[in-house]
Amino acid sequence: MSRYRLLPTPAQQAVLRDHCGHARYIWNLAGEQHAHWRLGRKGVPGYLEQCRQLTQARAENPWLAAGSQTVQQQALRDFAQAMTAFFDPGHPARRPSWRKAGRDEGFRIVARGTQWDVRRVSRKAGQVWVPKAGWVRFRWSRAVPAGAKSYRVTLDRAGRWHVAFAVIPDPVPAPGNGQAVGIDRGVVVSAALSTGELLSAPVLTGRERIRLRRLQRTLARATRGSNRRGRVRHAIARLRARETDRRKDWAEKVSTDIARRFDVIRVEDLLITNMTRSARGTRGDPGRNVRAKAGLNRGILGSGWGLLVRRLKDKAPGRVEKVKPHYTSQRCSACGQVDRGSRESQAVFRCTACGFAGHADVNAAVNIAAGHAVTARGGDGITQPVNREPQLLLPSA
Ligand SMILES: [Zn+2]
């Protein structure tokens, strides 16, 4: 995904806002139909049936009919695809959630050549064709990938428009050196390699963190609905967005580097979403160690681990192996003894049997590097199709 700052004129902004509103409305409508479905009832309307309903809805609602049919149909397709991913036992995704105004603003356009195109107009500016809005300028901060087939326009909470061209990164050729690397998603650092390298995803600088804390204090004191409150929220969102951008760049660079240096890349088979979900628990079964886990989860999410693994799979297709996570952090990488007591602290591993000592995350990474690929359930990341360009998939038609 290459993201660019979109610079629509005021008139174009109005069109884009309409597109966002329509896409959100359609998405939520499709979601409601699924939510009301119960076992034993007739099937949920499939994509084709929903398209028919969309035509009808457009005939009855002038405000919907005034919008772009391309945008609205794509929202339906996106929802259908999200449901398919949700029901996929191999790679389950989250249930498509309700989209909230002001928070989830965006729409997607596919079919380059017929629905859209992109062109460069100057050294620093490009233009992308958006239905009903025409050519919209964007900041040409880097070359648009030649293989881009679709794009998504988004409006973030800081009021910035972006266009992201969806492209599967080109696979990086394997070095052919027969080397395997293990990567541990660290808590102390973002990722530890079995080579001993410790990688840290960028965070806000000290000065930025101080500024963020000050803004958060101001926000707590500001009157609800006041102009000042709006300005402070805007500033906070901008700082957060800056951090996110840095993480994304980091994941791109690190994944390319690792894919270039090693033939086989081993990571733990861990569903990051499950880990982060488990902490809070439910009302009937409140999570244990909620505080400690919440801290750990913040670290995991903040480290950009999920994005890094996704990019590794894209760039080294068939070369990423998932290893069972059992005891990787308690096992001594020197003598193989498994003992909880060896994990001296978050950062230090000291074997109670042979005395080997080292960075705990690196020790785990070495165990992962020596691990065996998980073959059960087929979730080894090897058989996944390389091309994941969004496709029309019908969940219940
Ligand atoms: Zn040992």
What long-range pairs does 379-387 form, CB within 8 A, spacing at least 24? Answer: 379/90, 379/91, 379/269, 379/322, 380/321, 380/322, 381/313, 381/320, 381/321, 381/322, 382/318, 382/320, 382/321, 384/91, 384/313, 384/317, 386/168, 386/171, 386/317, 387/168
**What confidence tier does 62 reach under pLDDT thresholds 50, 70, 90?**
confident
Whole-number percent of the chain with pLDDT over 90? 34
pLDDT at 337 over 60: yes
Q: What is the pairing mode between strands 125-130 and 180-185?
A: unpaired
Q: Are 374 and 86 in contact (CB under 8 A)?
A: no
Q: Are 136 and 118 in contact (CB under 8 A)?
A: no
Q: Are 300 and 185 in contact (CB under 8 A)?
A: yes
- Number of Cβ within a 10 Å radius of residue 315: 23
Ligand 1 center from residue 344 Cα (angstroms): 13
pLDDT confidence of residue 387:
34
> Which one is predicted more confidently, 48 or 394?
48
**What confidence tier does 282 reach under pLDDT thresholds 50, 70, 90?**
very low
Q: What is the pairing mode between strands 264-268 and 180-185?
A: parallel
**What confidence tier does 59 reach under pLDDT thresholds 50, 70, 90?**
confident
Q: Which of 138-142, 148-152, 194-198 has the highest mean pLDDT?
A: 194-198
> Which one is predicted more confidently, 65 or 389?
65
Helix (H, G, I), strand (E, B) or coil at 182: strand
pLDDT at 340 over 70: yes
- Angle, helix 227-261 to helix 206-221, in steps of 10 degrees: 150
> Which one is predicted more confidently, 223 or 300?
223
Q: What is the mean pLDDT of residues 278-307?
A: 51
Ligand 1 center from residue 361 Cα (angstroms): 15
Q: Are 235 and 150 in contact (CB under 8 A)?
A: no
pLDDT confidence of residue 97:
80
pLDDT at 289 over 70: no
Ligand 1 center from residue 375 Cα (angstroms): 28
pLDDT confidence of residue 88:
59
Q: Which residues are catalytic?
A: 184, 268, 361
DSSP annotation string for 328-381: TTTB-TTT--B-GGGB-SSSEEE-TTT--EEEHHHHHHHHHHT--B--GGG-SS
- Mean pLDDT over all residues of the chain? 79
Ligand 1 center from residue 320 Cα (angstroms): 28
pLDDT confidence of residue 281:
44
pLDDT confidence of residue 36:
66
pLDDT at 18 over 60: yes
Ligand 1 center from residue 331 Cα (angstroms): 8
Rounded distance, CA 164 to CA 142, Å? 12
pLDDT at 54 over 60: yes
pLDDT tens-place string over residues 185-198: 866 677 899 999 99
Ligand 1 center from residue 339 Cα (angstroms): 9
Helices and strands (H and E) in the chain: how many: 10, 14
Rounded distance, CA 253 to CA 212, Å? 27
Q: How far is CA 226 from CA 45, 155, 222, 297, in A?
A: 44, 22, 7, 33
- Which backbone phi and psi does 315 adopt, to 5 degrees? -85, -25
How are strands ordered across the β-sheet holding 191-193? 198-199, 191-193, 180-185, 264-268, 320-323
Ligand 1 center from residue 327 Cα (angstroms): 13
Q: Which of 88-92, 278-282, 351-355 has the highest mean pLDDT?
A: 351-355
**What confidence tier does 211 reach under pLDDT thresholds 50, 70, 90?**
very high
- Point out the least confidently predicted range of 88-102, 156-170, 318-332, 380-394: 380-394
Rounded distance, CA 199 to CA 222, Å? 39
pLDDT at 89 over 70: no
Q: What is the mean pLDDT of residues 3-30?
A: 93
Q: How far is CA 167 from CA 130, 131, 149, 383, in A?
A: 18, 20, 7, 20
pLDDT confidence of residue 40:
54
pLDDT at 133 over 70: yes
For residue 358, the cross-strand partners are 349
**What confidence tier does 163 reach under pLDDT thresholds 50, 70, 90?**
very high
Ligand 1 center from residue 348 Cα (angstroms): 13
- How many CA atoms lie less than 13 Å away from 14 in the CB half-sphere? 3
Q: Measured in Å, how far apart are the chain's first and last C-alpha atoms? A: 30
Q: What is the mean pLDDT of residues 284-291?
A: 45
pLDDT at 135 over 90: yes
Q: Are 201 and 251 in contact (CB under 8 A)?
A: yes
Rounded distance, CA 324 to CA 374, Å? 6
Q: What is the mean pLDDT of residues 321-342?
A: 86
> Which one is predicted more confidently, 351 or 145?
351
Ligand 1 center from residue 24 Cα (angstroms): 56
pLDDT confidence of residue 379:
35
Helix (H) or strand (E) holding 135: strand 134-139
Ligand 1 center from residue 258 Cα (angstroms): 28
pLDDT tens-place string over residues 243-269: 877 888 888 899 999 999 999 999 887
pLDDT tens-place string over residues 265-277: 998 876 544 444 4
